[in-house]
Structure 1
Amino acid sequence: MTEQVRTGYSRGWPAIAAFVVGLLFALVSLYWTVGGELGLDTVGGVIEEAVRTGNAGMTAVMVLVTVIKLVGAVFALALVQPWGRVFPRKLLLVLGWLGTAVLVLYGGFLTISEAVLAIGGAAGTETLAFRWHLYLWDPWFLVWGIALGLAMLRMHRR
């Protein structure tokens, strides 16, 4: 059993990376969801406003987003851990590829469109929140999706 876990980690580094990226993302969301304000100006928009004003409806949405991120992070571990075998392989493949597509398309589209806006000097691209979205928040989705996609390729080949 120990050998299986060790082998899972050594061959499953993309799944571990997807877990870590997703978990860190979920922890940031959780921090803001419970009212933390450090770095809040880097996200801007309705999330910043919701946290600062304590908007109950938006807080509920943020709770849901945090839970989805946590589930997505743990999902990546299911691809390489023995306990993940309780789920049907076909279900893991479908959900994993769906998650990969959503993360890569969402993160990729936002990052590319923001880069085009920044290169073109569009109004608003000089704001703090825009720069953080361009260089961290939106590429984070893309990196998570790429790591999950690599984990899915490894799982698919098994």
Structure 2
Amino acid sequence: MKKYISLFVIAGIVHSLFSLYWGFGGEAGLTTVGTWVFTLSANYGIWINIALLIVAVVKFLATIMPLTLTNHFDKRIYYVSLVGSVVLILYGGLNTLIGWLKMFKIIEIHNYYTAFGQAFVWDPLFLLWGIGLFGYVKMLKKSKRNNVV
């Protein structure tokens, strides 16, 4: 179970920290997200920073809340985590695949850095986050069923 915890916690925390960094005005790595970020920032200024800070908090909570299941099994947190893991797997998996198709020039690339981030950084992290979370909640449910923690 520890490998699943490590996988989803690391992926979720990395996502959270970058959103926090960007929310405080950092720009490193933003080109790998997309040029639309710069357009939004130019149009809405501080509101985008506030939104990114909120996103960072939500990502962080979504990462740590499932860890409470280890000590106290809560069906609501379990099912939200399970659904969240499936969404992360589908979203991250599909976008990673699309990113790879762009990198292999099967699909047209509009921005190399964005396609690179999609194929090799952000969406694979979403995928790993989802896989780790899914494995964790399924193993936790199985261990609870067998009264083993």
Which residue of 1 is the match for residue 83 of structure 2?
A: 98
1:60 aligns with 2:50: yes
Distance 1:54 1:135, change over 3 A: same
Aligned to 2:147: none
CA deviations 1:94-122 (Å, max 9, x no partner) are: 11111111111110111112223333443
1:110 maps to which residue?
Answer: 95
The range that moved more, 104-113 or 114-123, is 114-123
2-structure distance, mates of 1:33, 1:49: 15
| AA matched with 2:5 | A
CA distance in 2, matches of 1:126, 1:46: 11
TM-score with structure 1 setting the length: 0.78
Q: Tell me the SS of whatever aligns to 1:124.
A: coil
Give the aligned partner of residue 6 of structure 1.
none
Report what 1:42 is aligned to.
32
2:118 corresponding residue in structure 1: 133
Shift of 1:30: 0.4
User: Percent of counterpart pairs with the same letter?
Assistant: 26
Partner Cα separation in structure 2 for residue 56 and residue 26 of structure 1: 19
Counterparts of 1:37 and 1:53, CA distance in 2: 16
In the alignment, what sits opposite 1:149?
A: 134
Question: Aligned partners of 1:45 and 1:121: how far apart in 2?
Answer: 21
Structure 2 distance, partners of 1:155, 1:122, is 40
Q: Which runs of 5+ in 2 are unaligned?
A: 145-149
Taking only aligned residues, the RMSD between alpha carbons, in angstroms, comes to 2.2
Letter in 1 for 2:123: D
Cross-structure match for 2:74:
89
2:5 is matched with 15
Answer whether contact 2:23 2:48 (CA < 8 A) is retained: no
Contact 2:95 2:123 in 1 (8 A): yes
Partner residue of 1:3? none
Alpha-carbon contact 1:33-1:51 (below 8 Å) kept: no
CA contact (8 A) 1:118 1:125 kept: no
Which runs of no fewer than 5 residues in structure 1 stay unpaired? 1-10
| Cα distance, 1:124 vs structure 2 | 2.1
In structure 2, C-alpha distance between the alignment counterparts of 1:20 and 1:148, rounded to whole Å: 11
Tell me, yes or no, if the aligned pair for 1:15 and 1:79 is still in contact at 8 Å.
Answer: no
Report the count of equivalent residues: 143
1:94/1:154 Cα in 2 relative to 1: closer, same or farther (>3 Å)? Answer: same
